[in-house]
């Protein structure tokens, strides 16, 4: 489980998002970061029981930096107010559909899938849905999927994608431009001894979608 002190640090950082405060509290940041590293390594160990491809993945390859890239942003806050990690073969640089966890007091969640696949990847996913519609719909209608996620995040085109039959019965499924699911986590969940069981259960419900997307783009 995470330590409460890690959540406390992130709460304080949100109120004091500046370099002077951060440097004065760098020891608290280092402790919180180390706690998150331990947490993610334990999470990888748990999820690798379902997915053998995760064996050998390390937290250091999965965790995102806390420093924000503010070059092209109106928001000049120098630090993220969350810890995030991609649990996936290849870590955070992976091009695969992956499991993601974000820790942010009051706004923590588990998510997964493919965010804004481009070019051939998007076309390949749409082809997979077109030719294996029944399989894809079965995944979306699974009881455990609906329980944890409800549905795919509604990030879609308004018009049918080019190159596909406009009379296709499940055309709405081809309009997606991202294939993402998510479910919230309470602060109490993160510091509970049951957090890894929770993550494992959510991952199990998500895995058929990840497998489908990865099959399409391999």
Domains and CATH numbers, the chain: 4-217 (3.30.930)
Positions of E strands within 63-149: 83-87, 98-103, 108-114
What pLDDT was estimated at residue 173?
97
Reference 39, options 19, 65, 18, 60; nearest CA is 60
Q: What's the average model confidence in pLDDT over 59-71? A: 93
What pLDDT was estimated at residue 72?
82
Q: How far is CA 105 from CA 2, 8, 162, 184, 203, in A?
A: 12, 8, 42, 11, 21
Q: Is the pTM of this model over 0.85?
A: yes
In this prediction, residue 19 has a pLDDT band, given cuts at 50, 70 and 90, of: very high
Share of residues in the chain with pLDDT > 90 (%): 94
In this prediction, residue 70 has a pLDDT band, given cuts at 50, 70 and 90, of: confident
The neighbour count for residue 46, using CB atoms within 10 Å, is 17
Please say if the pLDDT value at position 46 is more than 90: yes
What pLDDT was estimated at residue 123?
96
């Amino acid at each position: 489980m995470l330590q409460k002190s890690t959540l406390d640090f992130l709460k304080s950082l949100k109120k004091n998002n500046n370099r002077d405060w951060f440097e004065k509290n760098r020891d608290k940041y280092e402790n919180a970061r180390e706690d998150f590293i331990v947490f993610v390594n334990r999470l990888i160990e748990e999820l690798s029981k379902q997915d053998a491809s995760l064996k050998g993945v390390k937290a250091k390859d999965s965790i995102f930096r806390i420093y924000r890239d503010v070059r092209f942003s109106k928001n000049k806050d120098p630090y993220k107010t969350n810890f995030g990690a991609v649990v996936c073969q290849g870590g955070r640089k992976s091009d695969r559909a992956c499991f993601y966890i974000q820790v942010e007091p009051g706004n923590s969640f588990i998510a997964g899938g493919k965010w804004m696949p481009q070019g051939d990847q998007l076309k390949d996913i749409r082809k997979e849905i077109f030719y294996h519609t029944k399989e894809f719909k079965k995944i979306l209608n699974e009881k455990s999927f609906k329980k944890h996620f409800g549905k795919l995040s509604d990030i879609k085109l308004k018009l049918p994608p080019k190159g596909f039959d406009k009379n296709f019965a499940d055309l709405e499924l081809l309009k997606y431009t991202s294939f993402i699911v998510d479910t919230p986590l309470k602060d109490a969940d993160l510091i509970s001894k049951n957090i890894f069981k929770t993550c494992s259960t959510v991952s199990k419900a998500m895995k058929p979608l990840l497998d489908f997307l990865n099959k399409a783009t391999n």
